[in-house]
Structure 1
């Protein structure tokens, strides 16, 4: 498998979506239903070892889930995951083979969710060093300018990441209203460096995922693009 084919960035392009996505939740199971413009199940390509990546974030951007729903029948995928009562935004990251598709947010209400999506009071990190279960990761970048190449380098402080979904790490970026979704893959097979371009000014939250000793760790950062 040529992993280099996977180093693409999902820049948001407003255009026709030829695949419709429906996301529902019931009793610990998230169900995703897909239909193409003819009402049939679309054939999905494989991106980073999976047909589907599902990102779920809570309205306040505090909860973050990256899962891989399994195909049940044509056009129907399920992921077992308990969700607390809340409002969520979900992002179905797929690569349909014969259809135009852009990842767009789908709101999912669970239980008596009162929290509505609004401009979250994200506080920009002053310290880009984060530690989870003894593993420390530092985000380093040269520029936070809109429209400029944003090179995100992660210093793992000597820890060795294991390949996870065909790469040394994954980064998901959302704007503070969780409307723009960017899934960024590493620039090469052997570096924990990622690059993208954020064209709009404002605050963004990014989640970096790395695997150590068979477990995936998630590091969250809040940045401001000026």
Structure 2
């Protein structure tokens, strides 16, 4: 009897032990699966978050690069076009006085351009009167020119080449005696006839198609008479827009022809002065053209 009870106990113990081991195995397996699932989810979420951050960083960098790629270029462009030289002009009793200084108030060194250190273009407010003179250096950035300017309002353009400094020619207002404080609107009318005669010398202007942002050729037919050399060339051309703001000084494409090339960046009406020397005198031939 005792032996039978011990056998029963042993079998019960083995069964119990088996149940415990089996239950523990199942529990361990389930725990392992849960840990694996949680870890994978965490890694997935981490990667997605990381990819999202990287994508945002890429987008931010792309945006930043686009901005940095445009704004600095725009700023550089502005910086390059901004003049580092300041010019002031005044008129006193038949004397034009030009003061040229850099931003540190020093007098910059000027290079010679077409035989002159300075070309001074003076145009009346209505763009009718035109003068081209060459002031002389007096020292300390001062240049002077004796010239009797009639009573009027003018726009003056100081055409110079400062050494190692950026410079942009801009209009300077000049009022002589009772010249109007405000410029009246000019009434430029496009020339139908582009043939002009001055001092018995005739010049005819022909052009290629007048459009913006392309090379334009201006050909001046001097009717078989070769102009005399003037400032190292057969002629010079000055162009202003109808507001007298945009200034262009053009030189011939060669030493043997009165042919000039330029570009227009905006449509509008422009006045062109072709300067040619005949019989020791310089004639300025005015033409009004329209750029479409």
**TM-score under structure 2 length normalisation:** 0.71
**In 2: Cα distance, 1:151 partner to 1:54 partner:** 25
Find the counterpart in structure 2 of residue 156 from structure 1: 222
Is the Cα contact below 8 Å between 1:57 and 1:64 reproduced in 2? yes
Residue in 1 aligned with 2:275?
209
2:128 counterpart residue number = 62
Deviation at 1:217?
0.8
Partner-residue secondary structure (3-state), 1:191: coil
Out of 11, 26, 30, the residue aligned to residue 92 of structure 2 is 26
Partner of 2:73: none
Shift of 1:74: 2.5
Distance 1:31 1:208 in 2: 26
Residue equivalent to 1:39: 105
Is the contact made by 2:239 and 2:272 (CA closer than 8 Å) also made in structure 1?
yes
Q: Is the 8 A contact 1:119 1:176 kept in 2?
A: no
> Counterparts of 1:127 and 1:182 in 2: how far apart (Å)?
23
Alignment counterpart, residue 289 of structure 2, candidates 194, 200, 223: 223
Residue 194 in 1 paired to residue 260 in 2? yes
* Residue of structure 1 in register with 2:163 after alignment: 97
Greater Cα offset, 34-43 or 112-121: 112-121
* CA displacement at 1:98 relative to structure 2: 1.9
CA offsets 1:102-138 (integer angstroms, 9 cap, x no match): 0000101111112632542101000001001110000
User: Please, which moves more after superposition, 117-126 or 86-95?
Assistant: 117-126
The equivalences for 1:98-137 within 5 A come to: 98-114=164-180, 116-137=182-203
- The alignment covers a number of residue pairs equal to 214
What is residue 170 of structure 1 aligned with on the other side?
Answer: 236
C-alpha separation between the residues in 2 aligned to 1:79 and 1:38?
25
1:121 aligned counterpart, secondary structure: coil
Call closer, same or farther: CA 1:118–1:148 in 2, change over 3 Å.
Answer: farther
Partner of 2:140: 74
Q: 1:119 to 1:149 in 2, by over 3 A?
A: farther
Task: Say which structure is richer in helix.
Answer: 2
Please list every run of 5 or more consecutive structure 1 residues that lacks an aligned counterpart in the other structure: 1-12
The alpha carbon displacement at 1:15 in A equals 2.6
The alignment's C-alpha RMSD in Å is 1.3
TM-score (norm 1): 0.92
Would you tell me which structure has more strand in proportion to its own residues? 1
- For the residue of structure 2 that corresponds to 1:139, the secondary structure is strand
User: What is the alpha-carbon distance in structure 2 between the residues aligned to residue 20 and residue 195 of structure 1?
Assistant: 28
Deviation by residue 1:31-66 (Cα, 9 ceiling, x = unmatched)? 000111221110000100000000000000011000
Unaligned runs of 5+ residues in structure 2 are 1-78
